[in-house]
Structure 1
């Protein structure tokens, strides 16, 4: 089971695409970089992954738990350490 997984994550704001069909998996202990040009959707992807935004379609899990069901609450425990790794 991946520690972090995005599956076809898509977020639209009305007709405006924030991100579309983002998929990746990060295994436990793996170092993962998430980068791109300004406006590419990095922040939208991370905020959706963490449950601060609801995806239009697709999904994400943190340590096997559905990310969008967190309701944007701050991550705790092991999930918090994963989030710090994502933001480095």
Structure 2
């Protein structure tokens, strides 16, 4: 699945900010993009975030399978979540699991 302009811009915004804050960002390659897989895996020190980036409306029936990563700090972020995204990226501890 190829990202559209809105999805690509959202992905770039999160990835750029994460890297500025010292995170290593691992994203999907175009050849391996699957909607059930996380958009990004962010690593900084011992902390690992598994992140699905979404645009559009929030639909409870279309949530990613976060249960595939038990015990991991997982997030589903929409553009409206930007303050929460920043808060998560600047914290040093895993304060919010399944956020």
Tell me the TM-score normalized by structure 1: 0.30
Q: Which has the higher contact order (CA 8 A, sep 6+)?
A: 1
Structure with greater helix share of residues: 2
